[in-house]
Amino acid sequence: MSDEKSKFLLSENDLPKQWYNIRADMPVADTPVLNPQTKEPITAEFLNVLFPMSLIEQEMSKERYIDIPEEVREIYKLWRPTPLKRARRLEKALGTPAHIYYKDEGASISGSHKGNTAVAQAFYNKIDGTKSLTTETGAGQWGSALAVACNFFDMDLEVFMVKSSYHHKPYRRIIIESFNAAIYPSPSDQSEYGKQYLKEHPDSPGSLGIAISEAVETAVKSNGKKKYSLGSVLNHVLLHQSVIGQECLKQMEMADEYPDVVIGCVGGGSNFGGVAFPFLHQNLTEGHTTRLVAVEPTATPTLTKGLYAFDYGDTAKMAPILKMFTLGHDFIPAPIHAGGLRYHGMAPQICMLYEAGYIEAVAVPQPATFAAAMQFAQAEGIIPAPESAHAIRAAIDEALDAKEKGEARVILFNLSGHGLLDLAAYDSYLRGEVGDSTFEITKDEIRKNLPKVDVM
C-alpha cells in the first residue's frame, strides 16, 4: 500500500526547528570575503551598512544548527512543510526503472522557495530596527517573496527588477505592487549607477549584477535608513533554505527510499544549497554517497565554464568581493527566460564544494529545458518555472540514463517554483521562438577584468 503513495506530507509539527549551516561541516578551507574598496577581509562594520547585525552573525557563524525563531516558523506554516511527490506518471511516460521524486517548493505563497529566506531576512531586519529594505530581482520570484515578507512585517521595500524580466513578466511586477512594494526596471534612473549605465547603454536588458548595484547603492546612500537584502549567494540565505533538504530527508524516509542523486538548478545557488546541503551532511557523517548535481543554463555557465577567482558580486563593484566561479562581474547574460539563473557568479560555499569535487555541475541549453518542462507538465499537471525546468531536464536525463543501464536509480530534484507567472515564455516556446543561447568564453577573457587581490 505505501508503495502506491505518490505524496509525502509532513504536519506542521514536522517543520524543522533549526536551520542547518553547511559552514559547520565544510570539508575544505574557508575563503575570505573582501571589502570591494580596500580588498582586505571584510569587517562586520562594513557589512552592517548593508545588513543587520543578526544576519551578519549568521553569515559568519560556524554553528551547525541555528534556531528558527518562532515568529518565522509561524509564517513558514502558511505553506510549509511543502509536499514531496513521486512523479509516477512521468516515470511511466519515460519508461524508466528509476524512481523520480520532487520537492514542490512551488506550493508556497509566493510560488517559489524564495519565501524561506525572505521571511527570515524581513524578521531579522525588523527586530534590528530596519524600517525599509532594498533589493534586486531577476525573474521576480525573489522580489515577490520579499514583498510578501515585508508586508507581513510592515516594512517598506524597493525592488530593482532586471529590465528584460520587468517587461516580459508583468505578472510578477503586479504581485510585488499588490504587496505594497515600489518596483523599478533596472537599469533605472533611481540610482547614480543606473543613470550612468543607462546613458552608456540605453537599450540594456539589464542583469542581476546591475540591479544588485542599484539596490546596494540605494541602501548605502540612505544614511542608515535602508538596509539591503540579497535573495541568494550569501551563506545566511543558503542557511535559511536548508528547511527544504531537511524536510526532504524526513519525507524520503516516509517513502522508504534514499536518493542516489539530488538535483537543483543554480543561479546564485540558494535552492540547490537548500535541497543538497542536508544530504551532503549525510554523505559526510553517515557514509552516504548521494551525488549532488547543480544544473545551470549554457547561457550562464558559471560553474562549467567560469573561472574560480575573486570577483565582485555586482557590476558596479560596490558589493563585497567573493571567491567564486565567475564569468566576470561585467558579464551580461543573454535574456533567457530563466531570469533567476542570469548571474555571473555563484554562492562561495557551492563553489568551494564544486572545486573540491563534493558536488557536480552540468549546463543545459534553453530549448532542452522547455522540452523537459512540457514533458513534466503533461505528465504531472504542474507547469514549472523556467529555472526549475533546468533541474527537470537533468532529472529526466538521469532517469533515461538509468533506463539505458537498467538501474533502479532514486532521483530527487527540487521543483523550486511553478511557472504560472512565466506562461509568456511557454507561449514563445509553443510558437517555436525559444532559441539556444549557449555562451562561450575563455578563462583568459574572464581573467582580464577581475580585481587584483593579494589573498589566495
298: exposed, middle or buried (C-beta count within 10 Å: 0-12, 13-18, 19+)? buried
Stretch in the footprint of its own copies (CB under 8 A) among 145-153, 193-201, 233-241, 315-323: 145-153
Smallest distance, its own copies to C-beta of residue 159, A: 15
Smallest distance, its own copies to C-beta of residue 179, A: 7
Which CB sits closer to its own copies, 111 or 264?
111
User: Which one, of 375, 372, 321, 330, lies nearest residue 348 by Cα?
Assistant: 321
Stretch in the footprint of its own copies (CB under 8 A) among 16-24, 148-156, 181-189, 243-251: 148-156
Smallest distance, its own copies to C-beta of residue 175, A: 7
Angle at CA of residue 246, ends 240 and 248, nearest 5°? 125
Smallest distance, its own copies to C-beta of residue 93, A: 11
Smallest distance, its own copies to C-beta of residue 194, A: 24
Smallest distance, its own copies to C-beta of residue 1, A: 8
185, 243, 426, 434: which one binds its own copies (CB under 8 A): 426
Helix (H) or strand (E) holding 22: none
Spatial CB neighbours of 295, under 8 Å, sequence gap ≥ 6:
263, 264, 265, 266, 361, 362, 363, 364, 390, 391, 393, 394
Which CB sits closer to its own copies, 377 or 441?
377
User: Which one, of 218, 243, 232, lies nearest residue 139 by Cα?
Assistant: 232
- Chain position carrying cell 557590476: 315
Helix (H) or strand (E) holding 384: none
Which CB sits closer to its own copies, 431 or 452?
431
DSSP 160: E
DSSP 380: H
Site for its own copies in 154-183 (CB under 8 A): 170-171, 174-175, 177-180
95, 357, 381, 432: which one binds its own copies (CB under 8 A): 381
Binding flag, residue 430, its own copies (CB under 8 A)? yes
Site for its own copies in 252-281 (CB under 8 A): none
Stretch in the footprint of its own copies (CB under 8 A) among 38-46, 147-155, 395-403, 446-454: 147-155
Which CB sits closer to its own copies, 78 or 356?
78
Spatial CB neighbours of 127, under 8 Å, sequence gap ≥ 6:
52, 54
Count interface residues toward its own copies (CB under 8 A).
Answer: 40
Which CB sits closer to its own copies, 61 or 375?
375
Smallest distance, its own copies to C-beta of residue 424, A: 7
Binding flag, residue 374, its own copies (CB under 8 A)? yes
Task: Count other Cβ atoms within 10 Å, centred on residue 21.
Answer: 23
Smallest distance, its own copies to C-beta of residue 437, A: 22
Which CB sits closer to its own copies, 168 or 323?
168
Binding flag, residue 110, its own copies (CB under 8 A)? yes
Helix (H) or strand (E) holding 238: helix 235-254
Site for its own copies in 57-96 (CB under 8 A): 77-79, 85, 89
304: exposed, middle or buried (C-beta count within 10 Å: 0-12, 13-18, 19+)? middle
The three-state secondary structure class of 318 is coil
Binding flag, residue 111, its own copies (CB under 8 A)? yes
Which CB sits closer to its own copies, 198 or 383?
383
User: Which one, of 137, 305, 125, lies nearest residue 225 by Cα?
Assistant: 125
The interaxial angle of helices 115-127 and 141-152, nearest 10 deg, is 40
Which CB sits closer to its own copies, 184 or 325?
184
Binding flag, residue 152, its own copies (CB under 8 A)? yes
Stretch in the footprint of its own copies (CB under 8 A) among 34-42, 128-136, 183-191, 380-388: 380-388
Binding flag, residue 424, its own copies (CB under 8 A)? yes
The interaxial angle of helices 235-254 and 53-60, nearest 10 deg, is 60
Binding flag, residue 148, its own copies (CB under 8 A)? yes
Spatial contact of 229 and 146, defined as CB atoms under 8 Å apart = yes
Stretch in the footprint of its own copies (CB under 8 A) among 19-27, 256-264, 273-281, 421-429: 421-429
Binding flag, residue 6, its own copies (CB under 8 A)? yes
Binding flag, residue 427, its own copies (CB under 8 A)? yes
User: Which one, of 178, 168, 171, lies nearest residue 147 by Cα?
Assistant: 178
Cα separation, 271 vs 273, whole angstroms: 5
Binding flag, residue 380, its own copies (CB under 8 A)? yes
Cα separation, 258 vs 126, whole angstroms: 39
Spatial contact of 304 and 361, defined as CB atoms under 8 Å apart = yes
> What are the residues binding its own copies (CB under 8 A)?
5-7, 9, 11-12, 77-79, 85, 89, 107, 109-111, 148, 151-152, 170-171, 174-175, 177-180, 374, 377-378, 380-383, 420-421, 423-424, 426-427, 430
